[in-house]
Structure 1
Amino acid sequence: MKLSARNILPGKVVAVTKGTTTAHVKVELASGLTVFSSITNEAVDDLALKVGDSVSAVIKSSDVVIGK
């Protein structure tokens, strides 16, 4: 699969928490560096996501918000 996104970060799933319709997936990119994604429960099932899986966090955004 080819993607237009250029921010493709390999990592491992460290947590999958399903809610009513949405799941939160925590991906560790490097020791102590994690990203979170909110995706549908259906997507979790379709991808058969589970803790320990190798995945890619693909980030495509027109805005990056910084707070302090």
Structure 2
Amino acid sequence: MKISARNVLEGKIIEIKEGATTSHIVLDVKGLHLTASITNEAVEEMGLKAGQTASAVIKSSDVMIAVA
């Protein structure tokens, strides 16, 4: 598969937190934990499970953090 995103980080799924319609997938990338929100349907279709290798694909020009 070829994609245009340049930020692809491979890691291991360490947790899947299922909600009413959306799941949070926690991916361990070299000790850094990234969380992605995807639909429960996508989790099922992709067969995602804890312990599985997966990639975070980041396609964005900005990542912002703010504090009050």
Question: What TM-score does the superposition give when structure 1 sets the normalisation length?
Answer: 0.92
Which consecutive unaligned segments of at least 5 residues does structure 2 have? none
1:16 aligns with 2:16: yes
SS class of match (1:8): strand
Partner residue, 2:28: 28
Q: Percent identity?
A: 51
Per-residue CA deviations over 1:33-52 (Å, capped at 9, x if unaligned) read 11000000001001100100
Shift of 1:66: 3.2
Aligned length, in residue pairs: 67
Paired AA for residue 56 in structure 1: S
Runs of 4+ in 1 over 6 A off after TM superposition: none
Shift of 1:11: 0.1
Q: What is the TM-score normalised by the length of structure 2?
A: 0.92
Shift of 1:63: 1.7
Cα-to-partner distance string for 1:19-68 (whole Å, 9 max, x where unaligned): 1100000000012x110000000010011001000000000013211336
Give the 3-state SS of the residue equivalent to 2:44 in structure 1. Answer: helix
Secondary structure, counterpart of 1:65 in structure 2: coil
Mapped pair 1:52 → 2:35: no
RMSD of Structure 2 on Structure 1 (CA) = 1.0
